[in-house]
């Protein structure tokens, strides 16, 4: 993996893809590109996702501090 500022890094993991996609949407609504990595065989084997770390939220390394700030804000 590259240490380049635009290389994606994991900033959070979630028990379900739904939670991860909600967090991704929040970031993207605030101008931060993000994507979700999950390995549950396309939804056919949900326990596989849990065994491989859940749904992982990824952003560019340079966006990580701002992304974490957004994710850690209390809901309004």
73 touches 43 (CB < 8 A) = no
Distance, in Å, from the CA atom of 37 to the CA atom of 62, rounded to the nearest integer, reads 19
What is the average pLDDT value for the chain, to the nearest integer?
84
**Entry pTM:** 0.78
Tell me how many domains the chain contains: 1
3 state SS of 60: strand
pLDDT tens string 40-55: 555 555 555 555 558 9
Which of these, 27, 50, 30, lies nearest to 38 by C-alpha position?
A: 50
Question: Does 34 map to a domain?
Answer: yes
55 touches 30 (CB < 8 A) = no
Question: Does 43 map to a domain?
Answer: yes
- pLDDT-based confidence at residue 23 (cuts at 50, 70, 90): very high
Domain containing 18 — which CATH number? 3.30.70
Question: Does 15 map to a domain?
Answer: yes
Question: Does 1 map to a domain?
Answer: no
- Residue 65 belongs to domain spanning: 8-71
**Neighbour count for residue 12 (Cβ, 10 Å):** 20
Q: Minimum mean pLDDT among 9-18, 28-37, 44-53: which range?
A: 44-53
């Amino acid at each position: 993996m590259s240490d380049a500022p635009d290389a994606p890094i994991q900033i959070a993991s979630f028990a379900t893809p739904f939670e991860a996609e909600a967090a991704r949407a929040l970031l993207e609504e605030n101008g931060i590109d993000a994507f979700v990595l999950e390995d549950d065989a396309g939804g056919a084997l949900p326990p596989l996702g849990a065994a491989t770390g859940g749904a992982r939220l990824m952003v560019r390394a340079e966006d990580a501090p701002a992304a974490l700030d957004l994710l850690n804000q209390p809901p309004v």
